[in-house]
């Protein structure tokens, strides 16, 4: 589970950002997060693969940009219908044809660019497997990597947490996501460590109504 950029306000309103060019393109510490001394908590080592990325980003995009994309698509289709009808009635000229074509092109890009973003980040995750460390605390999570670490506070940097059948998706605003695969949580019967239920309870208590479980179905 590492950070993934979503295609929202930082670029075109509903288009995608390019995949970061760092060696691990899904790992960039958020600038607004601070890194206080690490406290005790539930500590685990985790990794992720391309399938984790595809699953997590599809759900994250559904939560953030899909509604906007649908609204823009309906608007563009309405504009296309006006100019398309104008062309069919043979009263439209070059401008009507240009605008009708542009509506189709923009609509295609609305849905193509997010899909391309998922594909590129998933391929990068498969080609550069790495392990990271997370410490889940009462007030947030401390994430450590080879270049240092950073802290994300519940209700501050972390705006919502989505639980799926196989993952916890830690959302940082509308632009970043951290994916924690449940398979990386230790088995308490074998390792004598904390359990998945303890992680869930911590997240649920900290986030309250911003803990989303509708994708468990």
Contact 164, 171 (CB under 8 A): no
Residue 200 has pLDDT above 90, yes or no: yes
Q: Where are the domains of the chain?
A: 3-216
C-alpha–C-alpha distance, residues 26 and 172, integer Å: 14
pLDDT per position as a tens digit, 2-60:
556 554 333 333 333 343 433 334 443 444 444 555 567 899 989 989 999 999 999 99
Q: Give the pLDDT score at 180.
A: 94
DSSP assignment of 166-217 equals: SEEEEEETTTEEEEEEGGGS--HHHH----HHHHHHHHHHHHGGGEE-GGG-
| For range 160-172, the mean pLDDT | 95
Residue 148 has pLDDT above 90, yes or no: no
Tell me the Ramachandran region of residue 173: left when phi exceeds 0, alpha when psi lies from -120 to 50, beta otherwise.
Answer: left
Contact 167, 2 (CB under 8 A): no
C-beta atoms surrounding 32 within 10 Å: 11
Question: What is residue 141's three-state secondary structure?
Answer: strand
Give the pairing type, strands 148-153 and 42-46.
Answer: unpaired
pLDDT, the chain, mean: 81
pLDDT per position as a tens digit, 10-26:
333 333 334 343 333 44
C-alpha–C-alpha distance, residues 112 and 135, integer Å: 36
Which residue has better confidence, 41 or 75?
A: 75
Give the residue ranges of DSSP H helices in 1-129.
Answer: 50-64, 66-88, 94-127
What is the length of the chain? 217
């Amino acid at each position: 589970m590492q950070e993934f950029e979503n295609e929202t306000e930082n670029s075109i309103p509903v288009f995608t950002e390019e995949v970061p060019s760092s060696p691990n393109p899904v790992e960039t510490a958020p600038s607004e997060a601070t890194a206080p001394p690490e406290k005790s908590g539930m500590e685990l080592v985790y990794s992720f693969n391309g399938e984790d990325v595809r699953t997590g980003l599809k759900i994250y995009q559904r939560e953030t940009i899909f509604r906007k994309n649908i609204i823009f698509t309906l608007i563009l289709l309405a504009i296309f219908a006006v100019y398309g009808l104008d062309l069919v009635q043979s009263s439209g000229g070059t401008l009507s044809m240009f605008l009708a074509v542009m509506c189709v092109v923009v609509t295609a890009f609305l849905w193509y660019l997010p899909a391309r973003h998922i594909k590129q980040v998933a391929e990068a995750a498969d080609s550069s497997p790495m392990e990271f460390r997370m410490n889940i605390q009462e007030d947030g999570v401390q994430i450590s990597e080879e270049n240092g670490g950073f802290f994300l506070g519940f209700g501050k940097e972390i705006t919502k947490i989505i639980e799926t059948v196989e993952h916890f998706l830690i959302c940082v605003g509308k632009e970043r996501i951290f994916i924690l695969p449940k398979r990386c949580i230790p088995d308490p019967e074998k390792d004598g460590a904390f359990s998945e239920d303890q992680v869930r309870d911590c997240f649920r208590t900290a986030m309250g109504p911003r803990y989303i479980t509708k994708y468990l179905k």
